[in-house]
Amino acid sequence: MRILLVEDNKTLAEWLVRTLRQNQYAVDWVANGADADTVLRTERYDLVILDLALPKLDGKEVLRRLRKRGDATPVLVLTADNRLQSRVAELDSGADDYVAKPFEVEELEARIRVLLRRSSQVANPTVACGALSLDTNTREFTLAGQALQLAPRERAVLELLMLKAGTTVSKAALAQSLGSIEQDVSADAIEIYVHRLRKKLEDSDVAIVTLRGLGYLLRRVHQDA
pLDDT digits (tens, 9 = 90+) for 47-94: 999 998 899 999 899 999 999 999 889 999 988 766 666 666 666 677
| Count of residues making up the chain | 225
**Cα separation of 64 and 36, whole Å?**
12
pLDDT digits (tens, 9 = 90+) for 89-112: 666 677 888 888 888 888 888 888
Give the structural domain span for 150. Answer: 126-220
Residue 9 DSSP SS3: coil
Report the CATH number that the domain containing residue 171 is assigned in CATH.
1.10.10.10
Query: Is position 97 within any domain?
Result: yes
> 58, 55, 99, 43: which is closest to 76 by C-alpha?
99
How many domains are contained in the chain?
A: 2
**Cα separation of 132 and 171, whole Å?**
22
| Stated pTM of the model | 0.73
